[in-house]
């Protein structure tokens, strides 16, 4: 049996309707921005394997750090114990995060980072004896697939089977240029009419919605409104964190600071699953008490896994090198040139760039759904041409590893241009 046949026999894949989907491609090897399948066909990984892999596949620097940690201390429980790798990650993050972020809580993936933030927002007010049970989120947000994260997510087919089983979430529109006031007014009204505990948002770029971008000034205003009303703000930087937007965090563009931040995806350079939720001292203090019931009763078996911490430290080191920062600027410049070239194409609705993130919306005669027919056609075309891209409906986006070469990037652009002609 081939790997593909065995896969069909045993495995259940994420976000996959197995009856209508093609059999998954078996990847046997990766290096830099490239992947090879079991038949040695080469692919350019133009989405950094779901946005986790900025420094390239099989990165030796991170691998060495992991090996060293594995042969020193692979894991120890974090309840009642601590270790140097966790402390070093915390020290490093506190140095590079917005200055009000003072406490670091580890978990395992983006969804759990969000789950922790939402639970903390709710318990913060519970601990203070205040009844605040509503979470505010953007329309079309994506915050993950565990229950509270799913409740905050607004992409309907991810969540429709579970409607009526969620915590209270009220949605506001993402600020649109020229019509920002609609979003501000909506937030004020929601705060007036509900007992709001927190507002969770993807800062500047809504990834899963199709790299939808909005202005930092509008986000600053929304955060300011929350602050005036004592509503906690949660910046979900699971996708945007660690350089994707051109700065270390998307929040570095925003003049207001959030109360909490969620990090994962690129945290360990795509090696070991790990996530972090960060907090202000004020939030930590609301749980600090003689009463054990006020503690945060949340944890995961692999919390602060030392091997994951070693991978995170190596990744942040790589991110901070001049070479990596130059790569980020190079890709951004290249994206802007490509954007200029194709935005006037008759079949293009709009194109946009922030940092290493590029997206183009292609005209369609029909309403394009998330996993609709145009998406399937585009996806298959890219795969046939040896490029890994996962369009969202009629939106094609690129989020390359920062080490992608100019030549590889040009091939991705050229294939996107061909795809636009094809559909």
Check: CB of residue 4 under 8 Å from CB of residue 24: yes
**Pairing of the two strands 260-263 and 275-279:** antiparallel
143 belongs to the binding site for ligand PLP (CB under 6 A): yes
Number of residues located near ligand PLP, criterion CB under 6 A: 14
3-state secondary structure 339-362: HHHHCCCCCEEEEEEECCEEEEEE
CA distance 44 to 32: 9
Output 114 or 196, the one with its CB closest to ligand PLP: 114
Output 235 or 286, the one with its CB closest to ligand PLP: 235
Chain positions 173 to 212 lying near ligand PLP, rule: CB under 6 A, are: 202, 207-208
**109, 127, 245, 332: which one binds ligand PLP (CB under 6 A):** 109
142 belongs to the binding site for ligand PLP (CB under 6 A): yes
The answer to the question of whether 111 is labelled as a binding residue is: yes
CA distance 207 to 76: 34
The answer to the question of whether 236 is labelled as a binding residue is: yes
Output 52 or 104, the one with its CB closest to ligand PLP: 52
Name the phi and psi angles at 234, rounded to 5: -125, 110
Instruction: Kindly state the helix (H) or strand (E) to which residue 43 belongs, with its residue range.
Output: strand 42-45
Spacing of C-alpha 254 from chain mean position: 18
Output 180 or 236, the one with its CB closest to ligand PLP: 236
CA distance 259 to 247: 19
The answer to the question of whether 207 is labelled as a binding residue is: no
Site string for ligand PLP, 226-245 (x = CB under 6 A): ----------x-xx------
The answer to the question of whether 300 is labelled as a binding residue is: yes
Q: Of 22-30, 58-66, 110-118, 186-194, which segment contacts ligand PLP by CB under 6 A?
A: 110-118
The answer to the question of whether 210 is labelled as a binding residue is: no
Output 155 or 231, the one with its CB closest to ligand PLP: 155
271 belongs to the binding site for ligand PLP (CB under 6 A): no
CA distance 22 to 149: 29
Categorise residue 52: left if φ over 0, alpha if ψ from -120 to 50, beta otherwise: alpha
154 belongs to the binding site for ligand PLP (CB under 6 A): no
Nearest CA-CA partner of 50 in 110, 132, 102:
110
Q: Of 127-135, 136-144, 246-254, 384-392, which segment contacts ligand PLP by CB under 6 A?
A: 136-144
264 belongs to the binding site for ligand PLP (CB under 6 A): yes
Binding residues for substrate: 50, 265, 299, 390
């Amino acid at each position: 049996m081939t790997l593909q046949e065995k896969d069909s026999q045993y495995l259940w894949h994420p976000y996959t309707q197995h009856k209508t989907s093609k059999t998954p491609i078996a990847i046997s090897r990766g290096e830099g921005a490239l992947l090879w399948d079991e038949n040695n066909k080469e692919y350019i990984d133009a989405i950094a394997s779901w946005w986790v892999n900025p420094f390239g596949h099989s990165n030796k620097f991170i691998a060495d750090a992991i090996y060293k940690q594995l042969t020193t201390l692979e894991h120890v429980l974090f309840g009642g114990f601590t270790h140097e790798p966790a402390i070093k990650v915390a020290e490093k993050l506190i140095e590079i995060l917005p200055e009000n972020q003072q406490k670091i809580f580890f978990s395992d993936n983006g969804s759990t980072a969000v789950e922790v933030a939402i639970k903390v927002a709710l318990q913060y007010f519970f601990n203070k004896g205040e009844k605040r049970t509503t979470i505010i989120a953007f329309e079309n947000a994506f915050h993950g697939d565990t229950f509270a994260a799913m409740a905050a997510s607004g992409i309907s087919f991810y969540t429709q089977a579970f409607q009526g089983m969620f915590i209270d979430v009220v949605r506001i529109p993402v600020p649109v240029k020229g019509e920002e006031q609609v979003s501000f007014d909506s937030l004020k009204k929601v705060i007036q009419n509900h007992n709001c505990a927190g507002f969770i948002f993807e800062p500047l770029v809504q990834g899963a919605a199709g790299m939808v971008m909005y202005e930092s000034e509008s986000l600053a205003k929304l955060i300011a409104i929350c602050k005036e009303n004592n509503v906690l703000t949660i910046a979900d930087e699971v996708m945007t964190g660690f350089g994707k937007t051109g700065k270390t965090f998307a929040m570095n563009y925003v003049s207001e600071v959030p109360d909490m931040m969620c990090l994962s995806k690129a945290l360990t350079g795509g090696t070991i699953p790990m996530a972090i939720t960060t907090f202000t001292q004020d939030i930590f203090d609301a749980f600090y008490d003689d009463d054990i019931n006020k503690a945060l009763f949340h944890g995961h078996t692999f919390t602060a896994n030392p091997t994951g911490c070693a991978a995170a430290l190596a990744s942040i080191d790589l991110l901070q090198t001049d070479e990596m920062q130059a790569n980020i600027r190079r890709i951004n410049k290249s994206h802007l040139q490509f954007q200029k070239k194709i935005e006037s194409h008759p079949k293009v609705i709009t194109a946009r760039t922030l940092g290493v993130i590029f997206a183009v919306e292609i005209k369609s005669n029909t309403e394009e759904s998330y996993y609709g027919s145009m998406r399937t056609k585009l996806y298959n075309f890219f795969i046939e041409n040896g490029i890994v891209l996962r369009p969202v409906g009629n939106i094609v986006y690129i989020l390359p590893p920062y080490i992608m070469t100019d030549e590889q990037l040009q091939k991705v652009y050229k294939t996107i241009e061909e795809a636009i002609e094809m559909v």
